[in-house]
């Protein structure tokens, strides 16, 4: 029973730490040109998945449990991809 509670606590704590960061990117009008954003974030070990939405101009970065990326790293990746960061939203 103790083990079960411990596992349940661990699982719940991991899910609390799993993060999605939304980045609003300006100038993102061409999906082929924006492939660089996806490529740069996918290379990072802490990134679980990435989704680019041209309609909302948002890049959704889902991180591995208990991981984080600084605003500076996010901004550098976006700028190196040729775009500007309008806003970083952390959930």
Minimum CB separation of residue 29 from other proteins in Å reads: 5
**Number of neighbours of residue 60 by Cβ within 10 angstroms:** 16
Query: What are the distances in angstroms from CA 14 to CA 7, 34, 45?
Result: 10, 31, 17
Query: By C-beta, is 2 or 43 nearer to other proteins?
Result: 43
| Residues contributing to the site for other proteins (CB under 8 A) | 26-37, 39-40, 51-55, 57, 79-84
Q: Point out which residues pair with 47 in neighbouring strands.
A: 63
Tokens linked to 90: 């952390």
Minimum CB separation of residue 63 from other proteins in Å reads: 20
Minimum CB separation of residue 57 from other proteins in Å reads: 8
């Amino acid at each position: 029973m103790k083990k079960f509670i411990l596992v349940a606590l661990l699982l719940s704590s991991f899910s609390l730490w799993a993060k999605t960061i939304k980045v609003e990117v300006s100038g993102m009008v061409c999906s082929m040109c924006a492939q660089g954003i996806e490529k740069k974030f996918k290379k990072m070990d802490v990134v679980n998945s990435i989704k680019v939405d041209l309609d909302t101009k948002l890049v959704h970065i889902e991180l591995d449990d208990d991981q984080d990326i600084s605003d500076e790293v996010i901004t550098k990746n976006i700028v190196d991809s040729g775009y500007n960061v309008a806003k970083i939203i952390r959930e």
